[in-house]
Structure 1
Amino acid sequence: MSLALLSVAGVALDGLLGEPKRWHPLVAFGRLADRLERRFNRSRTPDLPVGSVDSLALQGGPPSGEGRGEGALLPTSPTSDNHTPGLGWRSHGVTAWALAVLPLTFITWLLTLVPHLGWLVSAIALYAAIGLRSLGEHAEPVALALRDGDLPEARKRVGYMVSRETAGLDDSAVAKAATESVLENGSDAVFAALFWFAVAGAPGVVLYRLSNTLDAMWGYRNPRFERFGWAAAKIDDALNYIPARLVALTYALLGNTRLALRSWRRQAPQWDSPNAGPVMAAGAGALGVALGGNAVYHGELHERPQLGEGPAPGARDIWRALALVRQGVLLWLLAILGLGALLHA
């Protein structure tokens, strides 16, 4: 079966089954990553606990202000005192990354070579890596609560999606947080997985998803992870560089193209993440809303530039952002099928 058809199969499995309820491979991988960090990034505090696995959802990156993007739907969340310095050097982080990612990627490659099993492994790998249905399952309850005027419920629900403090957010700020999360996680957890699957099959998508998960666990700008998490952060930036710009272009083509391209060109360089900036600026422009702006993380106010132009988002814009991502996935699948047909012609 061609990679193009397997791409459709993986997305279809995600739509039909959603995220595994009982056991998700990324949760087990998170525990492995915790053990590796304990071994290679020892703290001066002997019994310092390491990250814990959060099975709410399995996508995203480090929170803005500590990492480079909006920390939405994290697979893991460090729960220890992040101000306690880790003793691991950059080289220790490289070693830990290699031990976590490369053996599993190699095993996946070997399994794809097994006759009559390889195609099944490939479809399951993409299904486990992609998070399109999960994105809707987290964002839609926020929009519904806002529509029904239930602000406390909306704050609670958006707190599952983002790392910023949500207790004091008004309706507009809740909608903004959810919309930003949909746009950014659409790139990280959906489009980038599709990209690497189309480029390198099951090994490619496994390498990408595991790398992205390590970035979510280790890619923090704090004393604990400043050195140890450097490799995970840089590798994730590199793996997302091309997909993020393709996603920004996709958002622009499917929305207000002129405003999206202008926002991308003028505003993305001001954002602290090299990949989230283009995605969120183009997405905000495509939707014709104003995103970004100041937000509170862990009790500290972080000044963020505005992205896009227009009114503040509302509940309807959360659904519009989801529609933008879903339409983009359809467009990408058609493009992948078209390229596959040309290559096999």
Structure 2
Amino acid sequence: MLSFSLFCALLVGVMLDRWLGEPRHWHPLVGFGRLAMAVEQRLNRPGGVAAGALAVVITVLPWVLAVVWLLLVLPGWAGWGLQALGLWLVIGGRSLEEHGQAVMAPLHDGDLPCAREQVSRIVSRDTDKLDSCGVARAATESVLENGADALFASLFWFALAGLPGALLHRLVNTLDAMWGYRTERFERFGKVVARLDDLLGWVPARLTAISYALCGRFAASLRCWQQQASACDSPNAGPVMAAGAGSLGVMLGGGAPYHGGWKDKPWLGEGRAASADSIAAATTLVQRALSLWLVVLLGVSL
């Protein structure tokens, strides 16, 4: 069960993220990404499911075990500080908000090329072919989905297993973002990490979806979740995106250009078309859900 001391470390980590955001230089996840690229280039071969599993072990397990060891040997106050600082580096709530604002501002100003450039930093689709509504949809979807991946899932695993749990999820999720594509290069190599990411994110995704519903248009959110989520390819993104779109009263999803081709995705939500205001509303929804999580976690710790 989440102790009050661990909740205080969680709260400090969230506050540090809110005040400071991500480190501008020498972010550990950037270094981890470079390590992952080197490992993938060395191990990725045709038919490489086993190689992909080995790559996950090589890149993730040493860091998680190192944190477990440090928490065992450090004095209590130092271990508490490590938990708080580590969570700050793991989550990305303020960064998510900043990326959303960077897209929203040029959209408001009618600067579509700049908005396309900014949204290309947070989505994998071909943004140079998107109109203003497509840019707004992409950014809104990113805020909602990454709210689950980069914030709430890490908080869930931190509450359950401290910093080792949050770090495990964040590193696996980072690898999934790098290797979890259904392309010729990653179809087999990334299969293990994609399944592991689905597993670690299953419960947090549904808790995030419930939170989005409670913090917005509750009935519409649940209706969209129930009726639309199963049409999505991802078992975790579906509930999060459908519930979030329904909560905001906005239409998300639909066809979009990816990697030189066109991908038809299901429509999610109901109501108005996406716009710059939808990005702001999604950011506010994530902030409200975070406040809800903190209140619930405080109650659990007490």
Deviation at 1:287, TM superposition (A): 0.3
Q: Which amino acid aligns with 1:308?
A: G
Cα distance in 1 for residues equivalent to 2:26 and 2:247: 37
1:101 paired with 2:60, answer yes
Q: 2:291 aligns with which of 330, 340, 343?
A: 330
User: Counterpart of 1:39?
Assistant: 42
Segment drifting more, 191-200 vs 91-100: 91-100
Cα distance in 1 for residues equivalent to 2:281 and 2:290: 14
Cα distance in 1 for residues equivalent to 2:57 and 2:286: 32
User: Counterpart of 1:92?
Assistant: 51
User: Counterpart of 1:262?
Assistant: 223
What does 1:193-272 align with in structure 2 at a 5 Å threshold? Answer: 193-272=154-233
Deviation at 1:88, TM superposition (A): 5.0
Cα distance in 2 for residues equivalent to 1:166 and 1:217: 19
**8 Å CA contact 1:111, 1:117 repeated in 2:** no
Q: 1:24 aligns with which of 16, 22, 27?
A: 27
User: Counterpart of 2:133?
Assistant: 172
Cα distance in 2 for residues equivalent to 1:88 and 1:202: 34
Q: Which amino acid aligns with 1:180?
A: E
What does 1:1-345 align with in structure 2 at a 5 Å threshold? Answer: 2-41=5-44, 86-113=45-72, 114-115=74-75, 116-341=77-302
Cα distance in 1 for residues equivalent to 2:192 and 2:165: 18
SS of aligned partner of 1:2: helix
Q: Which amino acid aligns with 1:111?
A: L
TM-score (norm 1): 0.84
Greater per-residue helix proportion:
2
Deviation at 1:109, TM superposition (A): 0.9
Give every structure 1 segment of 4 or more consecutive aligned residues whose post-TM-superposition deviation is greater than 3 Å: none
Segment drifting more, 209-218 vs 86-95: 86-95
SS of aligned partner of 1:212: helix
User: Counterpart of 1:79?
Assistant: none
Q: Which amino acid aligns with 2:121?
A: Y
User: Counterpart of 1:72?
Assistant: none
Deviation at 1:38, TM superposition (A): 2.5
Q: Which amino acid aligns with 2:254?
A: G
Q: What is the percent sequence identity of the aligned residues?
A: 54
Q: Which amino acid aligns with 1:138?
A: H
Segment drifting more, 161-170 vs 256-265: 161-170
TM-score (norm 2): 0.96
**8 Å CA contact 2:129, 2:257 repeated in 1:** no
**8 Å CA contact 1:40, 1:88 repeated in 2:** no
Cα deviations by residue, 1:308-330 (Å, 9 ceiling, x for unpaired): 11110111111110000011111
Cα distance in 2 for residues equivalent to 1:298 and 1:274: 22
SS of aligned partner of 2:183: coil
**8 Å CA contact 1:183, 1:280 repeated in 2:** yes
Q: Size of the alignment, in residue pairs?
A: 297
SS of aligned partner of 1:167: helix
Unmatched segments (≥5 aa) in structure 1: 42-85
Cα distance in 2 for residues equivalent to 1:198 and 1:265: 28
Q: Which amino acid aligns with 1:22?
A: H
Cα deviations by residue, 1:61-107 (Å, 9 ceiling, x for unpaired): xxxxxxxxxxxxxxxxxxxxxxxxx3252121111111111111011
Unmatched segments (≥5 aa) in structure 2: none
Cα deviations by residue, 1:123-168 (Å, 9 ceiling, x for unpaired): 1111111001101111112111111222222122111121111223
SS of aligned partner of 1:160: coil
Cα 1:9–1:88 shift into 2, 3 Å = farther
Cα deviations by residue, 1:13-45 (Å, 9 ceiling, x for unpaired): 11111111110101111122122223321xxxx
Cα distance in 2 for residues equivalent to 1:37 and 1:141: 31
